[in-house]
Amino acid sequence: MRKVFYFLHILFLLGVASHTKAQIDTDRVLIIGRNALYYEDYVLAISYFNKVIRVKPYLADPYYFRAFAKYSLEDLKGAEKDMDKAINTSPFQASFYRFRGDIRSKFGAYKEALDDYAKGLELSPQEEGIFFNRGLVYMSTKEYQKSVDDFTEVLKIDNAQYGAYINRAISKLQLKDTIGAVKDMDEAIEVNPLVADAYRFSAIIYYETNDFNKALARIDKAIELNRNDAGYYMMRGVIRYQMDNLAGTMSDFDKVIELDPKNTMAYANRGILRVEVGDVNNAIDDFSRVLALNPADLLTLFNRSLLYIRVGQYRDAIADLNVIIDRYPDYPDAYMARSQAYSGINNNMAAGRDYNMAFKLDQDSRKKAERESGKKQKDGDKPKKTRSETDDDISNHNKIAVLDDFGIDETEVEEIDNLRGKIQNRNIVIDLETVYGLTFFSVDSLINRARYFKTDVTQFNQHKKFGRPLIFSNREAETDGSKSLEYFTAIKEIGTQIEQTPSDYELRFIRAILYGVVLNYTSAIAEYDFIIENTEDKKLNLFAYFNRAYIRYKMVEMMQTFDDAELPSSLISKPLISVTNKDKPPKEDVIIKQSLDYELIERDLQKVLQIDPEYEFAYYNLGILQCIRKDYEGAIVYFEKAIALNPFFAEAYFNRGLTRIYLKQDELGTLDLSKAGELGMYKAYNVIKRYGMQREVKVEEEKE
């Protein structure tokens, strides 16, 4: 009996009344956050719940709601951690245990999930949602009788829960109780005759029992209720195929392709049907479409090679068959087909060699089949054989494919233009967050949070010597034509002021930043050198060392994008060159080598820490430097120091998380990424989905 995907119906009770009367401001922020949840603006919702938690960490509800937002973003470990806090704060709410159980079941921690459900039922013995979700867990652990019992409890509490009927029917089917399964499906349809999936599951059961007429009637009803689900037409096509309705089957496969133009199984199945009716050229076209979408589909490749032989395209057939034989060296039909193709191009020697190999393999196969004939069980009584979608047995190449267990497990793909919704599905480039510097021009990488600041930067801004505030940023705004003109004008004006007051090092620092923005790195470094060499102002020295390291890092990055001959003069910086023979000009390759030397960058950052040992941005930048050098353990140490100094340093959490995942410390890395996402770094959720630790279900194989 093939496994059947069960119908998920998880209810989240968000309307939990707070037992602590918060002040009106936190109440309002909590309500705004819940509204953001309602509109699926999960990242924004988290930012509001963060505000409540920082003010009143003793409230349970903000942790609960933030856990739901993280769960929606597929940050399961972060959600579990928030639910731990919610339960520790308020341990007598059944819904809290239920939700933590849902989270744990999602990443396969079934034992812990069952413990949570049991605790929830202790607190609320009539909580139908806990019975329902525990029943789903029992289905996952293949404890089908227990799942039947739990869905029965749900129906005792609410006999209109059609989802419970559906899941109980599937569990009964696994227990070989076909009559009970059919009865439950009929009950589900009677309770709610407008749910298309109920008819689909009912059709599955009738298909499994070879009652194709009833299966067809049920899938017809499902399609009547939902005409835009490609999976429904795929299933009806297979049912019609079993009923020898080839025209209807072809029509359904056409409809699947219309709704889902990249559905390889529909093209492959339609190609097989076209072979049956003799439409060879169009069948080749269908098989070629499959291979364009999935070059690894060798069963379809073999089908195409056979058709190439039929239409006389022998060399194309040989090319396909070479791949097949390389993957299936013991398959006699492939050698026989290639023998025919070689004969077609008059290569009789190769044809004879393949023919002999095919004969030998066929004889070996027959002897093996005779030895094992007593062990094999007869296949089912279906009029026509089919294969599952994932079946890679080459001997089944000419069978219609069926979705594994007729399940609908379609990947959700969303076009996301902003940060609303399931941003973990967004297609982004995953890399370390880059270094920080001081600038006046920033495109912030985070949302819904205050900018990072230091007291000395605030003091600098109070002097108001430039029209913009000085800020920390690792996303300096790019310059375009009009902006560049504005910056060059500012550089010229500041130069005039410096001529009048040469000892105004703050103006020189401003001009150095502007030089960096317009990519004149040589002049920028010269200004920082001048400040370091000529002033004892501790604050300005720190700024100059910090930003000189920042500019040198940017120089290295840019130099790596150019060929040697293309290097701009602004990247060939005299201050970076150590020349032993002053009478001999340095070669360009020496300049590049010196420029790529990260020792100078590290030296400046260490100088920053000598001036201020609590400068978290220097530790953060040093962490990135260690990653570049592949000293990942050292990088983690620096990121940890940055986080210890600034617990809200999102980029440091993000980089430490990525580094830990690279070192196979998946759980710690996932928790770091969760914290980065919580602090506003939305792309962390994409990384969690793709690389983070989600505990996997371990299934023990039964011993024979």
Q: Is the pLDDT of residue 679 over 90?
A: no
Higher pLDDT, 325 or 412: 325
Q: Does domain 262-368+383-407 have CATH number 3.20.20.140?
A: no
pLDDT for res 315? 95
| % of residues, the chain, pLDDT over 70 | 78
Using CA of residue 293, residue 298, residue 303, residue 306, what is the dihedral sign? positive
Could you read off the pLDDT of 505-564 as tens digits, one per residue? 888 888 888 888 888 888 889 989 999 999 888 888 899 999 999 998 888 877 665 544
Could you read off the pLDDT of 430-448 as tens digits, one per residue? 578 888 989 888 775 444 5
Q: Is the pLDDT of residue 410 over 80?
A: no
Long-range pairs for 32-36 at CB < 8 Å and ≥24 separation?
33/62, 33/65, 34/65
Taking Cα atoms as reference points, which of 525, 552, 542 lies closest to residue 454? 542
Strands 400-402 and 386-388: parallel
Q: Is the pLDDT of residue 226 over 80?
A: yes
| % of residues, the chain, pLDDT over 90 | 35
- Hey, what CATH class is 194-260 in? mainly alpha
> Domain 437-646 carries which CATH code?
1.25.40.10
CB 270 within 8 A of CB 246: no
Q: Is the pLDDT of residue 62 over 80?
A: yes
* Strands annotated E in 330-406: 386-388, 400-402
Could you read off the pLDDT of 115-159 as tens digits, one per residue? 999 999 999 999 989 999 999 999 999 999 999 999 999 999 988
Task: Please check whether the two domains, 262-368+383-407 and 437-646, share a CATH topology.
Answer: yes
* Ranges of H-type helices in 212-345: 212-225, 230-242, 246-259, 264-276, 280-293, 298-310, 314-327, 332-344
The most confident of the ranges 3-7, 481-485, 647-651 is 647-651
Residue 331 and residue 323: Cα distance in Å, rounded? 12
Residue 235 and residue 50: Cα distance in Å, rounded? 47
User: pTM of the entire structure?
Assistant: 0.55
Taking Cα atoms as reference points, which of 198, 186, 172, 231 lies closest to residue 1? 172
Q: Is the pLDDT of residue 47 over 90?
A: no
pLDDT for res 22? 40
Could you read off the pLDDT of 363-379 as tens digits, one per residue? 877 766 665 555 444 44
- Domain extent listing, the chain: 194-260, 262-368+383-407, 437-646
Q: What is the mean pLDDT of residues 306-323?
A: 94
Could you read off the pLDDT of 150-193 as tens digits, one per residue? 999 999 998 888 889 989 988 998 898 888 988 898 888 888 88
Length of the chain: 704
- Collapsing DSSP states into helix, strand and coil, what is residue 323? helix
Q: Is the pLDDT of residue 460 over 60?
A: yes
pLDDT for res 586? 46
